[in-house]
Structure 1
């Protein structure tokens, strides 16, 4: 029995006066008279201490908002999308609802049992973050594995802008080849401009430097004035943004029916790219979408700035007559490379005005040709072919 009840009962039964009860039980006379009034109105139960908490709180999260938080959590997870407090707050704002603080959203999710504790997860504060200052300053690239409905292994090749996380290209292959890397890169440059640098791992499709040579991608970048960077071997953290992006991509694909064909998977990837770039807020971008961040800042240019345009590549062998044939606009043209280069495997890179021919095994520029649609034979403009400078392989 509480002390307040005992004091009131002693006074009511006339065992103690109000003054004596106040002295014995440590209450003020004023408070004892208040308790006696409660007793007369509601009996002994009314004597018990009452909560001092306010009946209403202007800061309390509205029931409508609390329910929508839980609904958004379920909807976003069901669609394979990020569903953390920052993302949920962004969606509430888009729906013109008063979004509470992220700590309140986290507390609401935790109370509902929707957060799985990860005590061994490394804290974000322990990471040293790097971000390019401008769009097109650095493009990261890598590919990841996925499976079709019948179990066929597919490789998905991605290009991601380091500054904005804008997904420049996302294509499915079986498997990814060096030609796919070059083609997807050139397609991305036509749409978004030429980057100042690229950052990749040391996969053979990106670099052949550990094998003592160079591949097509390494020949292409110096021609466009692009600096090539490769991460340290066995250190994927250097390409951390593209590695983390693969988690987002796979979570989204997992939430959808498995594609039956490569074409069907590509359709899914195109839909994902549109959603990721334009409709998904990014926590690292202060809840901007990658598309907003990519378009908000002037783009960086290569050290040797070149005008973006359409580039066409072709692999071939120099014929026995020292020539290579190239079809352009429905007409066959012949490029004079040189008789002493017959049998050499070459890479031909053509833009709107010039075709540059490079020997694949040495990196030597064999010839350059001015495009003249009126002529069938294009002479070699390189009277003294020179060695093309090796692409930078600076480890980051």
Structure 2
């Protein structure tokens, strides 16, 4: 039995006073008075729960704005573009002169059933992100697979600027080879200048460093060496190192899905050019200040070159501290053991190496565990000077 029914029974049937019932049941006397009035006028309907929605909502968005939010969501999603609350807020501000918070947009999208609830994700603060400070400081590259209308497999090679997310080159090929990578890199350099560094995975089209010393450098690596470009390769089985270009390819495929499948590589290349134009010049990017477009960020900043050494981290690798409290790092062909401390056993770390300057960071918290200059003449790199035991 509900408390409302108990209160009505105590007052009208048992004949107890409203003040006494309010004390016995821990409710206000004014609520009892309103409840009795409703029961007198409505009968048993007074026991049904009522909406607590206010009679008026002065701050509620106009219905025209809500309809525009839903329309933008539908338009962006149909084109395979990002249609999140922040992107919709950007379009409302820049194209319709309306200022609506992303929280309000998200609330109305949920009310319209356009957002599916997802389980709790890992918080963004738990990730340690690295981003170049200038355009052309680091170019990321990767290729992905795509099928034509008749089922023919093709591959799409992408070059992306790490700092501004500017799509430098996106090309379709029957098959990406080392020669393909060299040719497209040469064309991109002719159009955008020589980068300071490149970041790729360990595919044979990018590097032969995992080929067991057979065959020497490939054509792409030789060109990087000739131009003085620093080549950086991710740790094997760690695709998140090249996460920016991986995420770019996800956006690309989502966009392509919204259009009819191309029948030829040439037709696919035409679709890719349309995507690059939309991505670089009209699509706001959430990772950039004020959600600027990649083209705006790329053009407005000074470019890095091989002669301007900006990024002090030549290499980034991950490791886990062993039982002895140390990690290993190979420098100039020699393996060195770096002491961290046994209390950090099994802790995952990022090792940032610029020549002999080494920084070891806790990958989960961002805490700097060691920052020192490596002694190339020693195998073991202790945490500090060895303390002499006092004589007894």
Q: Same fold (TM over 0.5)?
A: yes
Q: 1:215 aligns with which of 210, 213, 218?
A: 218
- Residue 223 of structure 2 corresponds to residue 227 of structure 1: no
In 1: Cα distance, 2:145 partner to 2:104 partner: 38
- Residue 264 of structure 2 corresponds to residue 261 of structure 1: yes
Post-superposition CA distance 1:230-281 (Å, at most 9, x none):
1111211110101111110000001100001111000000000000001111
- Residue 288 of structure 2 corresponds to residue 291 of structure 1: no
C-alpha displacement of 1:88:
1.2
Q: 2:41 aligns with which of 39, 44, 61?
A: 44
In 2: Cα distance, 1:143 partner to 1:248 partner: 13
Which residue is equivalent to 1:87?
A: 87
In 2: Cα distance, 1:109 partner to 1:161 partner: 33
C-alpha displacement of 1:185:
1.2
Structure 1 pair 54–167 and aligned structure 2 pair: CA distance change class (3 A): same
The alignment yields a C-alpha RMSD, in angstroms, of 3.3
Q: Number of aligned pairs?
A: 295
C-alpha displacement of 1:45:
5.3
Post-superposition CA distance 1:34-69 (Å, at most 9, x none):
999x99xxx8359x8998865333321221121122
Q: What SS does the corresponding residue of 1:104 show, helix, strand or coil?
A: helix
CA contact (8 A) 1:65 1:99 kept: no
C-alpha displacement of 1:85:
1.0
Post-superposition CA distance 1:196-235 (Å, at most 9, x none):
0000111111112233210111111122121111111121
In 2: Cα distance, 1:157 partner to 1:283 partner: 23
C-alpha displacement of 1:132:
0.4
In 1: Cα distance, 2:308 partner to 2:74 partner: 50
Structure 1 pair 202–60 and aligned structure 2 pair: CA distance change class (3 A): same
In 1: Cα distance, 2:19 partner to 2:270 partner: 84
Structure 1 pair 8–66 and aligned structure 2 pair: CA distance change class (3 A): farther
Within a 5 Å distance, the mapping from 1:1-396 to structure 2 comes to 23=19, 44=41, 54-119=54-119, 121-211=121-211, 212=213, 213-286=216-289, 287-303=291-307
Runs of 4+ in 1 over 4 A off after TM superposition: 1-10, 20-29, 48-54
In 1: Cα distance, 2:300 partner to 2:58 partner: 38
In 2: Cα distance, 1:226 partner to 1:24 partner: 86
- What residue ranges of structure 2 are gaps of 5+ in the alignment? 23-27, 310-354, 360-392
In 1: Cα distance, 2:276 partner to 2:35 partner: 69
CA contact (8 A) 1:8 1:35 kept: no
CA contact (8 A) 2:11 2:21 kept: no
- TM-score of the aligned structures, taking structure 1 as reference length: 0.65
In 1: Cα distance, 2:147 partner to 2:52 partner: 61
In 1: Cα distance, 2:245 partner to 2:282 partner: 19
- TM-score of the aligned structures, taking structure 2 as reference length: 0.66
C-alpha displacement of 1:122:
3.5
State which structure, 1 or 2, has the greater radius of gyration over its C-alpha atoms. Answer: 1
My pick for the range that moved more, 85-94 or 99-108, is 99-108
